[in-house]
Structure 1
Amino acid sequence: MTIDEVVQLTRARLQKDLHPVQEIILRQVWEGKTYTSIASTSHYGEHYLRNIASGLWQTLSQILEKPMSKSNFRSSLESRSLTAEERELIEESISSQCLATLLEYPGSPVPLGSPFYIHHPLIEELAYQEIVKPGSVLRIKAPRKMGKSSLLLRILDRANSLGCRTVSLDFQQAEDSVLGNLDKFLRWFCANISRYLELPPLLDDYWDEDMGSKVSCTIYLQQYVLAEIDRPLVLALNEVNRIFEYPKVAREVLPLLRSWHEEAKRIKTLGKLRLIVLHSTEIYIPLKLSESPFNVGLPLQLPYFTEEQILALAQRHGLDWTDSLDAERLMAMVGGHPYLVRLAFYHLCQNALTLDRLLQEAPTIAGIYKDYLRGFWVTLQEYPELGVALKQVVKSEQGVELDPVVACKLLSMGLIHIDNNRCTLSCELYRLYFGSHNFI
C-alpha cells in the first residue's frame, strides 16, 4: 500500500475524515520522521503529538486487525496491497461523498476535499517532501486545464498543515504596464507578498535606486518579510509564462529566482523561502544554464487520466459504466485529458446527454468542447507558423518531424505528443476538429 491508500482506507473504515494532525502524523511517520522532527516542522507540541499518535495507533490496530505502532507502521503495510474488498470499500466511501456533493462545473481548480479530484499519489508525495526543504524550488509544468492549480491547492494546504505560511501570486493579475517594467514588477511582487502576509508594505524603507531593483527586492524579502515571520514561507508563482511575453524583464526576474535558491544554501533566512513555479509553456528566452530557474529543484509534469481513473470518476458521477467500453470510447476521443474528461461527465450528468451524441458532436461548433477548441483557433490565427506546423501533423498518420521550437510550443499547448522527434496529435478530437476546418 501507499500512504495515500492507507489514509483512504482509514477514512473509509472510520466513515469520516481524519483530523489534520492525525494525517500529518501518519504521513510524516511513513517518511521515517521522529515526533521531535514532526513537532519542529508542524509547530505542534511534541507531547501533544505523542498523545494523538497513541490513540491513532490503537485505532489503526482495530481497523487493520493487527498491532500497529510507529516502529512497524510502514514496514507492515508497504509490502501488502489493498484487497478487493478494501478497494471496493474505498470507492463506496468516495461514491457516498459524491452523492452528497453538488456537481461541480470543471472550469476552475477542484476544491479541497472534493470527491471529484483524482489523486496522483507519487506526484503529490514528491511535492509534499520538496516543500519542507529549505530554499527548495518545485516546478510544475503542464498545458492549460491539466490540473496544475488543483494540485497547487493541495500542496499549499499541506504546507499550511505543516505550519508554513503560504502566498500564491498569479502573474495574470499583473497589468501590462507592471510586467513591462522591472522596477514596477518587483515592487508589485513585494507589495503583494506583504499584503497576503498582512505585513505593512514598507517598500520605500528598503528600496534603493543606487543598489537597483533586484538587490532591493532581495533585501526586502530577506531582511523584512522572512525576518518578520517565524515560519517557512511557501511562495507559489502561478502562470509564470505570462512574464515570458516581456523578455527584457524575464531575463532579469528568472535569474533572480534562481539566485534565491542558490543563496539559501548559505543564508539561513533565505532558507525559509520555498518556491513553487507553475507555467504552461516552454521558455524561449535565452538564459545561461547557470541563471535559469528551470533546471534546478524538482520538476513535476501532470499525466493524462488512465482508463482505470476514468472508470473511477464515472462511478463518482453516478454513471453506470460497469465495463471499460465506454471509458475506452471517451479516451479514444479526448485521450484522457483531465478537463475534457470531467467536462464530458458533467454534461452526461446534467443534460441527460448520451455518450453517443456527445462523441458525435464533440469536434463540431455545436459540441461541448466548442469554447475550448476556439481558444486554440485564436492562438493559431495569431501565430500562423504554429498553424502551418499543426496542419502537417493533422495530415500525417505516422507523425512528422517539426522545427524543435515550434514542436515544443505545440507540445506546451497540449496539442501534440513527441516520441523520438516525431510529432503526433494528442487526441482524435483535435484531428477531427482541425481536419475539418481551414484554420490557416
Structure 2
Amino acid sequence: MQTNTLNFEQALAIVNQAVFTNAGRYLTDVETTIFHGAWLHQTYEEMAANTEYTVNYLQRTVGHKFWKLLSEALGEEVSKSNFRTALERKSVTLTPTKLPSDLSLEFPEGPVELDSTFYLERPPIELDCCQAILQPGALIRIKASRQMGKTSLLNRILNSAIQAGYKTVNLNLLLADRGVLKSLDQFLRWFCKCASRELQLPNKLADYWDEELFTSNTNCTNYFEDYLLSEIDTPVVLGLDEVDRIFPHPEIAQDFFGLLRVLHEYAKLKDSIWKKLRLVIVHSTDVYIPLKVNQSPFNVGLPIELPEFTPKQVQDLAERYGLNWETNTGEAYLADLMAMVGGHPYLVQLAIYHLRRQNLTLEQLLENAPTDLGIYREHLQGHWGTIQEYPQLATAFKQVVNTNGSVQLESMLQFKLLSIGLVKQQQNGVIPSCQLYRQYFQNKFRDRA
C-alpha cells in the first residue's frame, strides 16, 4: 500500500491548481467541504452533520459533479474512495504555484488606469488613433454607448500625445452646469477658461473678448488663435468627452459644433497656426440635432466606433485576472457568460472580477444576474431609475424587450436608448443589447403591470 505523504493543505493546493488549470476556477466552499470530508474518510452523512448542507445536496447535487470535475482536472477517473493515490501521482509532476494576489485586482469602475493590466486593446483602434493624432489639424470622433471604454481610449490618446511632447486639454462637458448652458456666450467663456487652466496659462478673457464688435464664436476663435496657440510652441490636443451633454441645447450645440468644424478646416490652410490644434470628440450616440453637412464635425476626421469584446478578447481578459478559459470547460464558461452579457466590456469585466475573487460560481452568477440579487443590481437599478423618469422612454423600451426581432422607434427615443446602451441597432430598428437587459426588464415591466 502506498504511503500517504501529503497533508490536507498540500492536497487542497494541488486540487485547486489542477482545477484552475483545467476549468479556470478554484473549488467552491461546498466542494472544499466535500473534499475535506473525503480526506477525513467521512461519509456524506457525517459531512452533513457538521455543515448546513443536506446529505442529498452534498452527495447527489454537488458530489457527482465534483468528482467528475476532479477526474477531468487530474486526467484520470477518481472517486471518493481512490482520489488520494491520484493526488500522490499528481504531486510528483505538479508543484503548486502561489495563487495570484487579490490585492492586485481592480474593481471595474470608471476609466481604466493607464498602467492597468486589465485594459484590453481593440486593434487596430488604439494604433490608428495614436498615429492620427500626430497629424496636423487631426480630428478623431469616438462613438459608443456608456461604459464601453470611450474615456479610457481618450485618456490613452492624450497620453500618447503627451509622450510626443504635445500639450493636452482633457475636458468633460458633463462639468458644464445649467448656468454655463444658459447661452452660447456663457458656454464659450467657460470653455476657454477651462482650456486656459488645463494648459496652465492665465485666464485672459478680459483682453480678448469683445462683445461689442464680435460674435461669441469669433471671440472664442480669437482667444485660441491670438493667445492659447500663440503662447504654446507645441501642438495642442483638445479632448472633449461627453459632448452629448449639449445635444439637448441646440442653441449652443449648432454654433459650437459649427465652430469646431471651422477650426478643423482652418488647419488645412497653408502655414496656419490651427495646424497645431488636434481634436478628439467623444459621444455616446448619433447626433440628433440638425447640422448642415459643411458645418458638422461629425462627418469629417477619423471615425471610431468602439465594438464589444470578441470571445478571444474576453478569454484574454480572464487570463489577465488569473483564470484559464482556454480549456474545454473554460470555453463553456466563456460561452455561457457571453450568452448573458455579450461582449459588453463593463459587464464582462465585472463578472470576471467576481469569479476571480471566488465570491460565487458562474452558475450562481448567471442565475442571479437578471435580478436585484445579482452582481449587476446597481447597474440595472440605475438604468431602471433612468427610464422611469421618462414614461415615453419606458414604454418604448418595454416594446423592445417584449418583441422578438428588431423594433423601429421614434428617432429621439431610439437615440436616447442607444446612448444609454440598453439597445443596439439591428437592420432598421433596435434590439436589447444583451439577454441580461431583456430578462431583467421583462420581469420589471411585468411586476409593475
TM tier, shorter chain?
0.7 to 0.9
Q: From 342, 358, 362, give the equivalent of 2:365.
A: 358
Residue equivalent to 1:334: 341
Q: Percent same amino acid at aligned positions? A: 51
Residue equivalent to 2:105: 103
Residue equivalent to 1:415: 422
Q: Structure 1 CA distance, aligned partners of 2:324 and 2:356?
A: 11
Cα offset, 1:361, TM superposition:
0.9
Q: Structure 1 CA distance, aligned partners of 2:133 and 2:108?
A: 27
Residue equivalent to 1:306: 310
Residue equivalent to 1:189: 191
Tell me if 1:259 matches 2:262. yes
Q: From 266, 285, 289, give the equivalent of 2:289.
A: 285
Checking the alignment, whether the CA contact within 8 Å between 1:233 and 1:273 is kept in structure 2 is yes
Amino acid at match of 2:244: N
Checking the alignment, whether the CA contact within 8 Å between 1:282 and 1:409 is kept in structure 2 is no
Residue equivalent to 1:435: 442
Q: Structure 2 CA distance, aligned partners of 1:386 and 1:330?
A: 28
Tell me if 1:318 matches 2:333. no
Checking the alignment, whether the CA contact within 8 Å between 1:170 and 1:239 is kept in structure 2 is yes
Amino acid at match of 2:263: W
Tell me if 1:395 matches 2:402. yes
Q: Which runs of 5+ in 1 are unaligned?
A: 1-95
Cα offset, 1:282, TM superposition:
2.6
Amino acid at match of 2:197: R
Once superposed, what is the RMSD of the aligned Cα atoms? Answer: 1.8
Cα offset, 1:370, TM superposition:
1.3
Q: Structure 2 CA distance, aligned partners of 1:387 and 1:120?
A: 33
Residue equivalent to 1:379: 386
Q: From 111, 116, 119, give the equivalent of 2:118.
A: 116
Q: Which runs of 5+ in 2 are unaligned?
A: 1-97
Change (3 A) 1:100 1:269: farther
- 1:322-355 CA distance string (max 9 Å, x none): 3311011110110110000111112222352111
- 1:274-297 CA distance string (max 9 Å, x none): 000011133222121111111111
Change (3 A) 1:297 1:101: farther
Q: From 144, 147, 164, give the equivalent of 1:145.
A: 147
Checking the alignment, whether the CA contact within 8 Å between 2:139 and 2:264 is kept in structure 1 is yes
SS in 2 for 1:121: coil
Q: Which runs of 4+ in 1 moved over 3 A?
A: 98-101
Checking the alignment, whether the CA contact within 8 Å between 1:307 and 1:324 is kept in structure 2 is no
Change (3 A) 1:181 1:198: same
- 1:97-144 CA distance string (max 9 Å, x none): x86972111111111121111111211111112111211211101111
Tell me if 1:248 matches 2:255. no
Q: Structure 2 CA distance, aligned partners of 1:431 and 1:175?
A: 34
Amino acid at match of 1:304: E
Normalised by the length of structure 2, the TM-score is 0.73
Highest CA radius of gyration, 1 or 2? 2
Quick check: 288-297 or 392-401, which moved more? 392-401
Give the number of aligned pairs.
Answer: 344
Checking the alignment, whether the CA contact within 8 Å between 1:106 and 1:339 is kept in structure 2 is yes
1:153-302 matched pairs, under 5 angstroms: 153-210=155-212, 211-266=214-269, 268-302=272-306
SS in 2 for 1:378: helix
Quick check: 276-285 or 344-353, which moved more? 344-353
Cα offset, 1:366, TM superposition:
1.4
Amino acid at match of 1:312: D
Residue equivalent to 1:368: 375
SS in 2 for 1:167: strand
Checking the alignment, whether the CA contact within 8 Å between 1:131 and 1:159 is kept in structure 2 is yes
Amino acid at match of 1:430: Y
Q: Structure 2 CA distance, aligned partners of 1:100 and 1:432?
A: 32
